[in-house]
Amino acid sequence: MNLQEYRRLLAERSTLKRMLDQIPDEDVLDRSSLQSRLDIVESELGSITPPNREPARARLTFRGRPVVGQHGIFADFGAKATSAFAEAVAKVAAGLSGRGANSSANRDESRLLITGTAVGSFGFELEEMPVAGTLDFGEDTVAGQSLELTQNILRGTLGDDDELADSVASAGSRGVKAVRDFLELLASNEAVCGLGVSDKMFQFKDVGEVRRGLERLSKDNLREEETTLTGEFQGVLPKARTFEFKLADSTEVVRGKVGEDITSPDEINSHLHAAITIDVRATRVGSGKPRYVLLRLPDWDGAAPQPSPGE
């Protein structure tokens, strides 16, 4: 069982309980059927024993004008920079999860704790806050994923357009803006940062690189729009949440990610090679190719089946 299946069972349990509360006691047959299903759901939930997992951790360090060697950091800058970084992680998490940036669930799952100061430079050791009632299914947590993606965005600002587009497409516009706000705070204070996540480390060398990164994330360089594509699905990998889509009247096949709002991406594989129009978010950085995120499943009614190649 994965996290998505677990959440589905929780939702089903809530629905069954609500339905039982609305059915009179004298409707024995209806109540018996619902109660039987509720007993099965409760049994499945009760049988879950999640494995132990180390919390996601990160190392955020600073250099530049606000930092006094390894002795200390200006308090006002340290507080603002750490808060701006935490805000960026939370909004990147919102882009990944498909929930609103200010939702309580999103805030809880992406909240970070300061657990110590970084050794060897000045900064902080960060760790995801344990969330009561959540289980680990061997999958990366929201905090872990958003920390890694935030690091990828920072690294991508110094890479090519396609590399940066891969990261910002998953983070969403609010996540990208929050990372941009963080970089703007660094640049205005003539500071640079380093971010270590797991065994990967990224470090801006100087303020010039920070300013370059800020420019790469500017609205003039990064364009995002909702649009439609017409063609046919070639396939989807539900676990990786990626799809291939052949454009109509063309041999071009585009690849993209399935948005987190879509709970059953495997449904697409039941409608391959059917002429359809899909809603996507297209993100383009500079002169790079657009990156697509499928926003919702299409209306399959009326979709015309097409023969597979070679038929």
pLDDT at res. 282: 93
Assess contact for 109 and 134: CB atoms under 8 A: yes
Assess contact for 127 and 56: CB atoms under 8 A: yes
Mean pLDDT of the chain: 86
pLDDT at res. 112: 92
Measured in degrees and rounded to the nearest 5, phi and psi for residue 39 equal: -60, -40
As a whole number of angstroms, the distance between CA 51 and CA 138 comes to 7
Distance between the two ends of the chain, CA-based, in angstroms? 37
The helix (run of H) or strand (run of E) holding residue 214 is helix 207-216
pLDDT at res. 98: 60
User: Under CATH, which number does the domain 223-305 receive?
Assistant: 2.40.50
What pLDDT digit, counting tens, does each position of 145-158 carry? 999 999 999 999 99
Angle at alpha carbon of residue 199, lines to 198 and 205, rounded to 5°: 105
- What's CA 276's distance to the chain center, in Å? 27
Q: Is the pLDDT of residue 20 over 70?
A: yes
pTM score above 0.85 = no
**C-beta neighbour count of 278 within 10 angstroms:** 21
What pLDDT digit, counting tens, does each position of 280-292 carry? 999 999 888 899 9
pLDDT at res. 309: 47
| 229 SS3 class | strand
What is the pLDDT averaged over residues 49-59?
76
